[in-house]
Amino acid sequence: MFDRVPAEEVMRRPRMTLQEAESIQEAAAKMYHMQDDAAPVLNENEEVTGYVSTDSLMTAMMKGLPPETVVADMMERFPRMLKAEDTPSIYWKWEPPCLPVIDADKKLQGIVYAVDWLEKTEVVVNETEALFKAVSACDSEVMVIADKSGRVKWKTDSRLFPADLSQLEDLSFYNEITELLHDSGNNSRLDVDGRPFRLRVDRLTVKGRAYTAVRLLPAEQTSVPADGEGWKERAEQMEMVIELSHDGIIMVDRGGVITMVNKEYADFIGLSQDELVGKHVTEVIENTRMHIVAETGKPEIADIQKIKGDYMVANRLPIYREGKLEGAVGKVLFKNLGGFKALKHRIENLEKELATYRGEWQETNRAKYQFEQLIGRSRTWEKTKHLARQAAETDSNVLLQGESGTGKELFAHAIHNAGVRSPGPFVKVNCAAIPRDLIESELFGYVEGSFTGAKRGGKKGKFEAAEGGTIFLDEIGELPIHMQVKLLRVLQEREIERIGATGAKPVNIRVIAATNRDLEQMIEDGDFRLDLYYRLNVFTILIPPLHSRKEDIDVLLPYFLRKVAGRLGKPVPSVDPEAMPYFHSYSWPGNTRELENVIERTVNVLKNGRSISSSDLPPKLFRKKNVKEPRVLSETLFEAEQKAVNEALLYTNGNKSKAAKLLGISRTALYEKIAKPH
């Protein structure tokens, strides 16, 4: 029976590790890039404390845990941790599909992945087959085969020979055996249960590796048994070895008739050994190819075979004796492959779920719109887009100014997507939507213990989340003065400092800011810092309102009709010519956002379902502006003249000559207008 594969032979350095203090958002990003299904978690002392799997990440997401939740709050415990000398088993439930190898101090030594162990086990199985052949070639009973380190590879008696010869020290002939294994001595004599025996040694080389085979012979025997006797003993020995194997083994002759099958395989088939032996293999085993291998002599390795609704991996090898094809031997590599298949299916499902989680995370932190989606054909709009394209070619800060609803965020998306930072994240921050007492922690994050209620492991801020990409600061005019100072430092030094941190951390980001307020007026009023304005105002883009580019309504209407109808699952309507003037005459104070809302409302209440008439439009499009009744022209002219005269006199400090010159009239005319009664 071959030895199990110890963890130290298959462990490797972990592809990645996580820290307890990391957020689940960071963990998901790491696992996405590394394509791992599970990762070990270490504490601050580098001790293994658990693991995070794609399954647990999905569970956390479905429970609604925020992305900043730390790994320590949702990690799982390993069902077992291995030592270097431990030997995994195929009968374990590999969940997660990797196990840590630790030392006495719980420090991570390596990771054993199920796939690696299975591959190594198959190699050992193949080596064991070669050892079986070597045993068959020996001309005497072999009681133990060991490698150079004394590790037993095969034995005839489990009671006498455990897995490591160091466990034989309490036996009387331990010294003789170890001497034979490590030296060149031979023909040693010893007593076993009062009977005299002679130990003999053979040196074997199997697949390039050196082994030592120790044989136990009666002391009176001076020669090896006769050939027939030897084959009989070897057959009995091989039968015992096969029965001890945990794998299913079957042998057929050249005609495909079963000559031997061990109990493991018989149990797997569901018949007794007596019922199987003597029958043609195709009569009792479905989908078998044993008879084909026995006939052709061509081996088949790692073939998938379905039997009674279950799957197995089968190796089929031809048997030769003295160069003549005698039959074939087959071996079930894993008799419980169904468990591995279920695990594979589960891993595939987890990968799909993780892809969904990754997609949602990326959807939140990516730019959606391109310049092609900025609809308009007016000269003003095209000039604005051209300026924005120029800004996208640089890495400078950009300031977007315009009324509410003009599309400032769409421009920010397009600039990011057209620039060199497009592969990076696009993090959106609405400065007006964050409470003033929370805005610093949201933008810059905090360290653990920095204030009451601070989460374990701290929290990453928006600027760190935008690393390598763009941060979009919408409504920048609403940023409090004390935060304007901190933002200025970020723009100048390109570094941020978490709340409670003892040092700064560099960041590699681009800033795009937007506002609908007059920042220059805010500077005069003391509500916005001039130095911050200069830092942001590297590339300023003024986005025109809809009322200044009404020719764009003709292309915006069909665009929004297709967009809204598609979202609502309705046919795309047209607009009657008699309704178009109402779209053009309205002032659209809410700009394109208001236009889209009007379209959505109209499509929802559309009567005939095919075209929009004036009766389908909201009442506000028909309202006239509040216009006063026109006054007599002479009164209007008189008031205008009096206002101009008074302003001129005020400007010249009452000097009538200078005032008349400013007004472009003679002094006489000025005196007449001053004296003219109402």
Least confident range of 99-113, 210-224, 239-253, 604-618? 210-224
Pick 6 or 189 by higher pLDDT.
Answer: 6
Whether the per-residue pLDDT at 195 is higher than 70: the answer is no
Q: What is the mean pLDDT of residues 127-151?
A: 54
Distance CA 412, CA 399 (A): 9
Whether the per-residue pLDDT at 292 is higher than 80: the answer is yes
Residues of the chain with CATH 3.30.450.20: 121-334
Maximum average pLDDT range among 168-177, 233-242, 504-513: 504-513
Least confident range of 18-32, 330-344, 360-374, 570-584? 330-344
Query: Contact at 8 Å (CB) between 101 and 83?
Result: yes
Which residues, at least 6 apart from 659, have a Cβ–Cβ distance to it below 8 Å?
A: 645, 648, 649, 651, 652, 670
CA 613, distance to chain mean position in Å, is: 50
Q: Tell me: the pLDDT tens digits for 308-357?
A: 766 677 888 898 877 788 899 888 765 444 455 555 566 566 667 666 66
Q: Which two tokens stand for residue 75?
A: 């990690």
Residues of the chain with CATH 1.10.8.60: 547-621
Which sign, positive or negative, has the C-alpha torsion 350, 109, 18, 33? Answer: negative
Q: Tell me: the pLDDT tens digits for 142-184?
A: 455 555 555 555 555 444 444 444 444 434 344 445 555 445 4
Per-position DSSP letters for 593-636, written without gaps between them: HHHHHHHHHHHHH-SSSSEE-GGGS-GGGTPPP--PPPPPHHHH
Give the per-residue pLDDT at 222: 42
Residues of the chain with CATH 3.10.580.10: 7-115
Q: Per the CATH hierarchy, to which homologous superfamily does domain 633-675 belong?
A: Homeodomain-like (1.10.10.60)
Pick 245 or 671 by higher pLDDT.
Answer: 671
Maximum average pLDDT range among 204-208, 364-368, 572-576: 572-576
Round the average pLDDT of the chain to a whole number and report it: 77
Residues of the chain with CATH 3.40.50.300: 371-544
pTM of structure? 0.45
Fold of the domain built from segment(s) 7-115 = CBS-domain (3.10.580)
Fold of the domain built from segment(s) 371-544 = Rossmann fold (3.40.50)
Q: Which two tokens stand for residue 16?
A: 């990645």
Percent above pLDDT 70 for the chain:
70
Class of domain 547-621: mainly alpha
Q: What is the mean pLDDT of residues 125-152?
A: 55
Least confident range of 31-40, 108-117, 137-146, 388-397? 137-146
Pick 377 or 95 by higher pLDDT.
Answer: 377
Fold of the domain built from segment(s) 121-334 = Beta-Lactamase (3.30.450)
**Banded pLDDT at 227 (limits 50, 70, 90):** very low
Q: Which residue has the tokens 């010159």?
A: 661
